[in-house]
């Protein structure tokens, strides 16, 4: 009798929305009524079906080595073209997902992130970075486009996809001397008449095939260089930049990430001049960090679904392997971690949405810090449990074509580094607490987040009063892990009790 995996494979086609009680509970308990009505449910079921039945094969095909993005810098006539060849499967995914209007929230943030969560269970797949960047770009253009014709057109393009055409965005901040220290940017925006033109090198440019780039640069006018960074919108015109190479990344290999030098690229100022750092952090990077947390939830769900099905299907020594205590322990831990982080994410989403109305309130500042603490925790857990999931599949777990787990594991590591590696975000949270006076009211901060006082507020007070900041940061890392763990256990009313 030929051994068959059919029973196991059938489980993969389950609608990812219908099969997710945690997501349904989050929407029921936390989302406003229009995010859980019949229209929303119909769209979520449609995307859940696509995520389970269509997207896995497309994303796996796109991930094959021979199908990775390729750079063609010149054509046959020695003309510089910088053509980035994207495989047909990735192009198909992009068009499909933008047809679902996933590049912007459209005023319905809970439904939007629920849809993205369903899609992200297939990994970055060459599309999730684009969706995150487009989300951030749409937000900042919505806020600052004013009557500027160029910015208004870009915003219209982003928010009006058609079945045959979509527009998407990217954000280029990192330079060769460092990514997190945005104030040290050296790329220049020179004012020529009434127009700005950008020149200089950007070191890490993901989603280089986007239609619009958000680029940080320092303004130069009449030979004088601004001290502070500004933010610009740059249309993708290949003749205005040179692609040196595509990055050879550990994960998200379907996504073209380039090293680029701009050469007099036409640019439009976004927001107030000299406010680029605060704009890119508050409007763009925070959005991407929320996408990373959401993706971590999605990867944890995918890992649990895969190993739950496999360990019930697979027999060893006369019984299903989930009956073995060490296997069951990992299954239980993975299930609980997914549930906690997913509930925590949607709580955070609700806080974040509320904070947009007045970003200077205590709650808004608390939320900014909470995002900086949550992103390292959630993405680290995703990487850890994807590794554990592969171990439960043993030899099959590390075989690239058997399941998505190896690819998702590599993607999870990328999510850990995107928009601030752990030490960067923890340091930022520590600094924010001092800048915004939380060091003077640690009890208030802890109570506002957890809804009650806790001994960790005294621990935090001691850390923030420590004169040696480097020593304090070592203690702060441990405190942050404990604090986020408590935040994820906070609200028993949603229907879970760990």
Task: Give the count of beta carbons closer than 10 Å to the beta carbon of residue 352.
Answer: 20
How far, in Å, are 16, 44, 117, 406 from residue 23 at the CA level? 10, 11, 9, 24
Q: How high is the pLDDT of residue 498?
A: 36
Q: Calculate the dihedral angle through the C-alpha atoms of 75, 80, 81, 85, rounding to the nearest 10 degrees.
A: 70
Pairing verdict, β 224-235 and 169-172: unpaired
Tell me the DSSP string of 384-403.
HHHHHHHHHTGGGGG-TTT-
- Which stretches in the chain have pLDDT values below 50? 492-493, 495-498
Residue 168 CA to residue 138 CA, distance in Å, equals 9
User: Would you call 218 exposed, middle or buried from its count of C-beta atoms within 10 A (0-12, 13-18, 19+)?
Assistant: buried
277-494 adopts what CATH topology? Butyryl-CoA Dehydrogenase, subunit A; domain 3 (1.20.140)
Annotate 462-496 with b (16+ C-beta within 10 A) or e (fewer).
ebbeeeeeeebbebbeebbeebbeebbebbeebeb
Domain assignments of the chain as residue spans, ordered by start: 7-159, 169-275, 277-494
Kindly give the residue spans of alpha helices, DSSP state H, lying in 63-203: 88-99, 109-119, 128-144, 149-159
Q: How high is the pLDDT of residue 497?
A: 40
Residue 54, phi then psi, degrees to nearest 5: -105, -45
Q: How high is the pLDDT of residue 178?
A: 81
Kindly give the residue spans of alpha helices, DSSP state H, lying in 356-440: 362-392, 405-417, 422-435
Q: Quick check: 288 and 404 in contact, CB under 8 A?
A: no
Locus of tokens 């393009």: 157
Tokens representing 143 are 């806020």
Q: Quick check: 181 and 173 in contact, CB under 8 A?
A: no
Task: Give the count of beta carbons closer than 10 Å to the beta carbon of residue 298.
Answer: 28
Q: How high is the pLDDT of residue 197?
A: 98
How far, in Å, are 294, 304, 483 from residue 387 at the CA level? 19, 12, 24
Q: How high is the pLDDT of residue 430?
A: 99
In CATH terms, 169-275 corresponds, of 3.60.70.12, 1.10.3720.10, 2.40.110.20, 2.30.130.40, to 2.40.110.20
**Which of these, 298, 320, 310, 282, lies nearest to 136 by C-alpha position?**
282
Q: How high is the pLDDT of residue 496?
A: 43
Q: Quick check: 73 and 81 in contact, CB under 8 A?
A: yes
> pTM (2 decimals)?
0.96
Residue 22 CA to residue 247 CA, distance in Å, equals 37
Q: How high is the pLDDT of residue 181?
A: 86
Q: Quick check: 127 and 290 in contact, CB under 8 A?
A: no
Q: Give residue 4's Cα distance to chain centre.
A: 37
Q: Quick check: 172 and 215 in contact, CB under 8 A?
A: yes
Q: How high is the pLDDT of residue 283?
A: 92
Q: Quick check: 181 and 157 in contact, CB under 8 A?
A: no
Q: How many CA atoms lie within 13 A of 391 on its CB side?
A: 13
């Amino acid at each position: 009798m030929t051994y068959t995996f059919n029973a196991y494979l059938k489980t993969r086609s389950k609608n990812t929305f219908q099969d997710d009680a945690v997501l349904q509970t989050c929407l029921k308990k936390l989302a406003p009524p229009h995010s859980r009505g019949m229209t929303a449910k119909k769209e979520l079921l449609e995307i859940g079906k696509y995520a389970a039945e269509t997207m896995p094969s497309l994303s796996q095909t796109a991930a094959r080595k021979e199908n990775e993005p390729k750079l063609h810098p010149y054509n046959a006539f020695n003309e510089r073209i910088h053509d980035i060849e994207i495989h047909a499967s990735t192009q198909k995914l992009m068009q499909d997902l933008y047809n679902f209007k996933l590049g912007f929230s459209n005023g319905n943030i809970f439904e939007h992130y629920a849809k993205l969560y369903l899609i992200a269970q297939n990994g970055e797949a060459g599309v999730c970075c684009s969706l995150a960047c487009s989300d951030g770009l749409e937000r900042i253009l919505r806020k600052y486009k004013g009557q500027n014709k160029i910015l208004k057109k870009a915003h219209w393009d982003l928010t009006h996809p058609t079945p045959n055409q979509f527009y998407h965005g990217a954000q280029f901040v990192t330079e060769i001397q460092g990514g997190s220290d945005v104030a040290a940017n050296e790329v220049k925006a020179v004012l020529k008449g009434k127009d700005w033109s950008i020149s200089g090198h950007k070191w890490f440019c993901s989603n280089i095939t986007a239609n619009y780039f958000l680029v940080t640069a320092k303004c130069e006018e009449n030979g004088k260089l601004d001290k502070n960074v500004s933010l610009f919108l740059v249309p993708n015109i290949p003749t205005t930049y040179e692609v040196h190479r595509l990055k050879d990344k550990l994960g998200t290999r379907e996504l073209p990430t380039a090293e680029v030098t701009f050469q007099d690229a036409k640019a439009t100022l976004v927001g107030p001049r000299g406010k680029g750092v605060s704009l890119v952090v508050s409007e763009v990077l925070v959005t991407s960090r929320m996408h990373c947390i959401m993706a971590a939830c999605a990867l944890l769900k995918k890992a649990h679904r895969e190993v739950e099905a496999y360990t019930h299907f697979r027999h060893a020594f006369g019984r299903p392997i989930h009956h073995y205590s060490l296997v069951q322990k990992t299954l239980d831990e993975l299930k609980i971690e997914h549930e906690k982080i997913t509930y925590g994410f949607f709580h955070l989403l609700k806080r974040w949405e509320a904070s947009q109305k007045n970003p200077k309130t205590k709650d808004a500042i608390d939320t900014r810090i909470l995002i900086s603490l949550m992103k390292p925790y959630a993405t680290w857990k995703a990487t850890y449990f994807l590794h554990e999931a592969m171990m439960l599949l043993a030899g099959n777990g590390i075989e690239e074509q058997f399941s998505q787990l190896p690819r998702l594991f590599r993607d999870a590591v990328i999510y850990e580094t995107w928009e601030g590696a752990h030490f960067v975000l923890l340091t930022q949270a520590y600094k924010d607490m001092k800048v915004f006076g939380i060091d003077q009211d640690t009890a208030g901060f802890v109570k506002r987040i957890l809804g009650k006082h806790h001994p960790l507020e005294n621990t935090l007070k001691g850390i923030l009063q420590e004169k040696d900041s480097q020593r304090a940061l070592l203690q702060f890392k441990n405190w942050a892990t404990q604090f986020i763990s408590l935040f994820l256990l906070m609200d028993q009313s949603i229907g879970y009790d760990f």
